[in-house]
Structure 1
Amino acid sequence: MPITLILIAITCIVSFMAFKNSRLMNDLILWPPAIERSREYHRLVTYGLIHADFGHLLFNMITLYFFGRLMEVFYTAQLGTLGFVLFYIGALVVSILPTYMKNRHNANYRSLGASGAVSAVLFAFILLQPWSRIIVLVVPMPAIIYAVLYTAYSIYMDRRGQDNVNHSAHLWGAAYGVAFTLLVRHEVLSHFLNQLSQPRF
């Protein structure tokens, strides 16, 4: 079975369990004091297995399904069978670290969801196929255009900080996706630039 489907299955099962079990939700969510005081470092990963509601889970898993399968092939070729797992877990950790550092003494802060890791997968894909058409809220657009709009929106909303969404994790996840991919295979950069010079709408 593809690793992408295994990740989706695990995330869905744990999320559905946590929807009905507040104790499980509290044990897995990113709550900075638990890491700071009790060294519960697993929360830097397990927060990505739970979601706020079904819509939150559905959006992340649909995105992971469509783009994760493609990137799994790439990372398996570059790093072996567990290459995509390594990439995904790294994305969960790296995307949330700035948030954790900023809020490590804030007992009122909590964060959950796989959005940071999913952003990493999506932006890694965009490096490989920037002019691929993706559907955003039923509107088709080139992936690179979406990347620009998504980044601008996330920066704006992160600065506003009024919608209870961790836009910082989205941005750091996207940056990680790009950086990790280029680190694994630096030729991707020249491929990306070459693709940009040949726009296809």
Structure 2
Amino acid sequence: MYFKLGAAKTTATGAFSPSQQEFRSLASVDQYSGFSTMLQSLFRHGLQKPFARNCSTLGPRAIQAPHHPAAKLGCKIFGARFRSDAQRRAPQQRQQQQWQQRQPPPPPPPPEMPPDMDESSDSTLKRLVVWPFIGINVVVFLWWQSAEAEARRNGRDLARTPQQRAVGARNTIDINDPATGQLKHMMSNYTLSLRNMREGRWHTLLTCAISHATLDHLVFNMISFNAFAGFAIMSGVPLPTLLALGVGSGLASDMACLYDWNRKRKETPGLGASGVISGLGTAMACMRPMASFGIILIPVGIPLSLLMVGYIAYDSYRLNSEESNVGHSAHLGGSAFGVVFYMLFLRKYGGVWNMLRR
């Protein structure tokens, strides 16, 4: 026997049987209950478990019924909306790494260059090297002028240069004359000659490089020395290296002169800093071949390498000339030492060595 109780039906035994409308109401309540459970789990646990992979936060009914609307809402909408920043950045980082791997390797580092020098250190090295050398040359030049003035006061007529006096030019004097004692001292101690070598005056290998008897010779050599030595200091060449280059160039030019005079059977004395300057200029031309240098009466700059090649070519052409009083062999000897010194000690600063390696 059945009787109607509201919208529900009961059996005689008292069992409750909901109607279709009431069943729908219970299903909707179940949906809302599962959705509230999902929100509570979301606020309680945060985003530690992505919804797309783990739907346990939706409650047991969502697991039993994957087609449940709340399960779909949690797994798809919330899972896509609450992805972490690391997950969003992962593809971008992967693309950036792939792009970096496709890039060519970076070029090799440039050759080791000397440290930059400020103006104070530059001027300090000039005071230690350039100006003392120029000052010594000026003092020796004045000593030459005093010796020649003494000889003139004693009634002796002098030739223009020590070279002309040595080879027997007109109006020359005999340096063994007692009236020319100071001039004899200068010829014996401040010029390079085979006679001085035979008589054991080895110090003239060094003193001849600071000796100038004429003003034009002194001015030209000192301007050139200031330019080349100053450029070496600005390029970062250490002071001991610069001193070794200068002394070595002077000695190499002396050896070349002595060999040339012995080959020609000439007793021609030599003096001047031309050999030192040739060595400095050639070494700097190898280290900085494209550096621009100016020449008197030429308004445009000339690459240092081209300038030194021109000097070497001219000295080679005039080497065997009987009319020239210039020590071309000394220039060539100094230049040869400059090239060797660069290859041994200065190639780490770049220049011609790097060009040859390419």
TM-score range, shorter chain: 0.7 to 0.9
The alpha-carbon deviation at position 110 of structure 1 amounts to: 0.7
**Partners of 1:108 and 1:43 in 2: CA distance:** 15
Measured after TM superposition, the shift of residue 158 of structure 1 is 0.8
- CA-to-aligned-CA distance 1:75-107 (integer Å, 9 cap, x gap): 41xxxx433222211111111102213435957
CA distance in 2, matches of 1:70, 1:136: 15
- 2:268 counterpart of 1:85: no
Distance of 1:193 and 1:83 partners within structure 2: 18
Q: Structure 1 residues 19 and 107, CA, compared in 2 at 3 Å: closer, same or farther?
A: farther
Distance 1:14 1:56 in 2: 13
Q: Does 1:182 align with 2:308?
A: no
Return the index of the structure with the highest Cα Rg.
Answer: 2
User: Structure 2 length normalisation: TM-score?
Assistant: 0.49
Picking from 294, 307, 318, the partner of 1:157 is: 318
Q: In the alignment, does 2:255 pair up with 1:97? A: yes
Distance 1:86 1:167 in 2: 22
Within 5 Å, give how 1:1-201 maps onto structure 2. 1-21=127-147, 22-26=183-187, 27-36=189-198, 38-72=199-233, 74-76=236-238, 81-104=239-262, 108-139=267-298, 140-188=301-349, 191-192=351-352, 194=354
Kindly indicate whether the alpha-carbon contact (under 8 Å) linking 1:91 and 1:117 is maintained by their aligned counterparts in 2: yes
Map Cα deviations across residues 27-63 of structure 1 (whole Å, 9 max, x no partner): 2111211212x21111111111111310001000001
CA shift in 2, pair 1:142/1:185, >3 Å: closer
Paired residue type of 1:101:
Y
Q: How many residues align?
A: 190
Distance across 1 between alignment mates of 2:261 and 2:232: 32
State whether residues 48 and 92 of structure 1, in contact with CA within 8 Å, keep that contact through their aligned partners in structure 2: yes
Larger RCO of the pair (alpha carbons < 8 Å, separation 6+): 1
- Conserved? CA contact 1:120–1:173, under 8 Å: yes
8 Å Cα contact 2:347/2:353 also seen in 1: no
Give the gaps of 5 or more residues in structure 1.
197-201
- Secondary structure of the 2:293 match is strand
Larger helix fraction of residues? 1
CA gap of 1:16–1:193, structure 2 versus 1, over 3 A, is same
Identity %: 25
Contact 2:210 2:273 in 1 (8 A): yes
Distance in structure 2 (CA, Å) of the matches to 1:54 and 1:184: 35
In structure 1, how many angstroms separate the alpha carbons of the residues matched to 2:266 and 2:316? 25
**Contact 1:72 / 1:83 at 8 angstroms: preserved in 2?**
no
Q: Deviation of residue 171 (structure 1)? A: 1.1
For 2:293 and 2:324, the matched residues in 1 are separated by 25
Q: Mean Cα displacement is larger for which, 126-135 or 67-76?
A: 67-76
SS of residue in 1 equivalent to 2:294: strand
User: Could you say what the CA RMSD is over the residues aligned between the two structures, in angstroms?
Assistant: 2.2
Over 3 Å counting, the alpha-carbon distance change for 1:193 and 1:108 in structure 2 is closer
- In structure 2, how many angstroms separate the alpha carbons of the residues matched to 1:99 and 1:60? 18
Counterpart Cα distance in 2 of 1:194 and 1:107: 42
TM-score by length of 1: 0.84
Displacement of 1:167 after TM fit?
A: 0.6
